[in-house]
Structure 1
Amino acid sequence: MRAKVETIRIDGLPVRLHTAASAGRVRSDVAPTVVLVHGIGMSHRSFARSQCALATTHRTVSVDLPGFGGLPGAGRTLSMAELGDLVVSAVRARGADDLVLVGQSMGAQVVTEAARQHPGVVGSVVLVSPVIPVERRSLPLVASDLFRDGAGEGFRMNGVLVTDYVRSVRQYVRELRPMLRYRLEETIAEVRRPVLVVRGTDDPIVRRDWAVGVAARAPRGSFVELPGPHHVQERQPVAFARLVGEFRRSHAAQDIR
């Protein structure tokens, strides 16, 4: 399934959108739109397999943030609040107003901010491997955890990790401090939409008790584990897509009642 790729500018910042849906319905009124947001150093490629699986039943948009995925950098540090607003503004600029936000790793922080700021257009939120556990918020600890995770990611994902990191190094360095300082355990309590936290059972970066705690702090939170490492959405793309679809449908039915 080939995605439609376009780069747009929001307040001068470049955002690349990779849009895919069944039967090529990338510009139709298919609702909701599943928006996929990568982690620090990464790109849309970290959602390549899961987007293909999701696009069989949903309109999907995988995002490249400024400075990542080969895009020019912002030239400055961007806060999670700025990135969250940027994601929603970019997707809405292409006609999507009913959103399921899916963020992985640092992307979980971004979509949490997006949902907090734009509750009127967000139907539900999925946090995949959300970072960072309170006791791990230092650069040496994060680096150690990333190294350990690489051993379990597999050849393809490690290839994506290395090449994406190399081409995003400048923005990567700028975003490290906001990522390390972000208090997800506090801001998630302000998200009133349904929240699903997904963790890979073999993830050395996101501990189970932390992930369970994030789900518990969300007013409408739930928690699920799938077999796999930090990028579990790519290790289990079909199961992950099914999980997102079932989560969205169950809460949509509850909201109708």
Structure 2
Amino acid sequence: MLIMDTNPADQRSKAHHRAFERLHTAGGTAYVSEGEGDPLVLIHGVGMRLEAWAPQIAYFSTTRRVIAVDMPGHGGSDKLPEGSRLEDFVAWFGRFLDDIEIDAATIAGHSMGAMISGGAAATMGNRIHGVGYLNGVYRRDPQAKAAVLARAASIKTDGVDKDGPLQRWFGDDADSVHARSLTKSWLEMVDPEGYAVAYTAFADGDETYAGRWPDVQCPALFLTGSGDPNSTPEMARQMAALAPKGSVAIVEGHRHMVNLTAPDTVNDLLAQWLGKKG
């Protein structure tokens, strides 16, 4: 297991506030593709957009082809129908790979994107060469499950909650200031209906593929922040113990949006993992 300590002086590359020119598939999915080489596909979490991967796109596109995709109902991608479950988001991802003619790839997801990545690794066999599971949940305890289901149920009446996520996802440290501002802007832009569909699938999906980690034969990295209250280090350790080729990385002093608040550290950890898996 890797445990990385970070401080503001170590973080040379802050979250990039960058505009991306999107491509679109015939199936209504928006994405960007930068660099050349082995494909690395990135899937963001609920309420976000592909810009949330800007530090990773900039770093990894120098050595491989990086594809960052807008999840359904987010950014420039069409939403899935109301009532869609996590399995439907995994099926969408498979169609996306087909549409952009990717036979096999390493994938990394954050939060709900991690859940989609895990589902893909569990169901798509040799098509997935490796899975990075960043700040992803695993078998929530009853209290956490009740809280996330209550948040999902409140969306229809209260709309997109912009304050709660910021309080859960960020501390008051210097590294979080810019990332918090960017995240708030993305939450303010998200389509409420697309958000509701995705968040409901996220809230109800933590058990969907939880029992499949022993079947995932590709290398799997479980990475989270030491202070993430919902996608906890213990969850990461439990999943890594189940996956035949699982490993753990904990970024000390950071919470949920660790790829933005500690971009250099996360990039280094992902690069080490990608190097080991070849």
Q: Which residue of 2 aligns with 1:175?
A: 198
* Alpha-carbon distance in 2 for matches of 1:8, 1:168: 19
Among candidates 176, 189, 208, match of residue 154 of structure 1: 176
* Alpha-carbon distance in 2 for matches of 1:130, 1:146: 17
2:126 alignment partner, SS class: coil
1:120 alignment partner, SS class: helix
Q: Which residue of 1 aligns with 2:125?
A: 119
Aligned residue type for 2:145: R
Q: CA deviation at 1:157?
A: 2.2
Aligned residue type for 2:212: T
1:118-172 Cα shifts (integer Å, max 9, x gaps): 1222110000000255111123688667623234572332233223223232122
- How many pairs are equivalent? 241
Among candidates 254, 267, 272, match of residue 241 of structure 1: 267
* Alpha-carbon distance in 2 for matches of 1:140, 1:65: 20
* Aligned sequence identity (%): 20
Aligned residue type for 1:52: A
Aligned residue type for 1:137: K
Unaligned runs of 5+ in 2: 1-17, 152-163
Instruction: From the superposition, tell whether residues 232 and 150 of structure 1 become closer, same or farther in structure 2 (CA, over 3 Å).
Output: closer
* Alpha-carbon distance in 2 for matches of 1:165, 1:97: 33
- Residues 225 and 255 in structure 2, CA contact (< 8 A), matched pair in contact too: yes
Root-mean-square deviation (Å): 2.5
* Alpha-carbon distance in 1 for matches of 2:41, 2:84: 20
Aligned residue type for 1:210: M
Pairwise mapping of residues 6-85 of structure 1 onto structure 2 (< 5 A)? 6-10=23-27, 14-21=28-35, 25=36, 30-31=37-38, 33-85=39-91
- Residues 53 and 237 in structure 1, CA contact (< 8 A), matched pair in contact too: no
2:29 alignment partner, SS class: strand
Instruction: From the superposition, tell whether residues 212 and 17 of structure 1 become closer, same or farther in structure 2 (CA, over 3 Å).
Output: same
* Alpha-carbon distance in 2 for matches of 1:43, 1:190: 30
* Alpha-carbon distance in 2 for matches of 1:93, 1:37: 16
Q: CA deviation at 1:215?
A: 1.4
Give the stretch that moved more between structures: 73-82 or 146-155. Answer: 146-155
Unaligned runs of 5+ in 1: 253-257
- Residues 63 and 87 in structure 1, CA contact (< 8 A), matched pair in contact too: no
- Residues 133 and 206 in structure 1, CA contact (< 8 A), matched pair in contact too: no
* Alpha-carbon distance in 2 for matches of 1:206, 1:64: 21
Give the stretch that moved more between structures: 214-223 or 239-248. Answer: 239-248
1:188 counterpart = 2:240: no
- Residues 166 and 180 in structure 2, CA contact (< 8 A), matched pair in contact too: no
Instruction: Choose between structure 1 and 2 for higher RCO, CA contacts under 8 A separated by at least 6 residues.
Output: 2
1:137 counterpart = 2:145: yes
- Residues 202 and 229 in structure 1, CA contact (< 8 A), matched pair in contact too: yes
1:137 alignment partner, SS class: helix
2:80 alignment partner, SS class: coil
Q: CA deviation at 1:2?
A: 8.4
2:276 alignment partner, SS class: helix
